[in-house]
Amino acid sequence: MGIFTCGQHFPRKDRIDFAIADLGIGIPRTLKDKKGLQYSPEQAINWAMEGHNTTKTGPIPGGLGLKLLREFIRLNQGCIQVVSDVGYWEQRSDGTVDRRTLLSPFPGTVVNIEINTADINSYALSSELPQDIF
């Protein structure tokens, strides 16, 4: 079915929001099919948001993308929300995480990201920095 994305800038609130959605099988079923893990939808999303957890196989590494995004959002004091099946997972601007079960399932996965545009800090991976900084 593909991937769908949209976004909007809120200049008075110093925010940019954007969403990425797919109508695939979702995180819980992917974990069950590829890893044999039977987690509730909220637990499955939480598993996916941790570093080095991946359903990828073979020589191509995985499992850092969502963790790095989560860390950036925490530092930026933004927000990230993930919905898959009936699972809801949110990391708020203060870094706290809320997980809950929705009344109706979402057919796939949607990630909504809110970036704080008032943040004047710069961010880089430690691998991108000159070694003499350490």
CATH code assigned at 77: 3.30.565
Beta bridge partners of 87: 84, 101
Do 44 and 31 form a contact (C-beta atoms < 8 A)?
Answer: yes
Integer CA distances (angstroms), 134 to 35, 43, 120, 121, in order: 38, 36, 22, 19
Q: According to the model, what pLDDT value does residue 63 have?
A: 60
Average pLDDT over residues 108-131: 89
Per-residue pLDDT band at 133 (split at 50, 70, 90): low
Looking from the CA of 50 toward its CB, the CA atoms found within 13 Å total: 8
Give the three-class secondary structure for 117: coil
Q: Report which of residues 72 and 130 the model is more confident about.
A: 72
pLDDT at 123 over 70: yes
- Which helix (H) or strand (E) is 68 found in, with range? helix 65-76
pLDDT at 1 over 70: no
Q: Report which of residues 72 and 52 the model is more confident about.
A: 72
Q: What is the pTM of this model?
A: 0.86
Q: According to the model, what pLDDT value does residue 11 have?
A: 97
Q: According to the model, what pLDDT value does residue 61 have?
A: 65
Domain count for the chain: 1
Supply the range of the domain harboring residue 83.
3-133
Closest C-alpha to 40, from 101, 96, 97, 91: 101
Tell me: the pLDDT tens digits for 7-49? 999 999 999 999 999 999 999 999 999 889 999 999 999 999 8
Tell me: the pLDDT tens digits for 53-103? 877 777 776 666 788 888 999 999 999 999 999 999 999 989 899 999 999
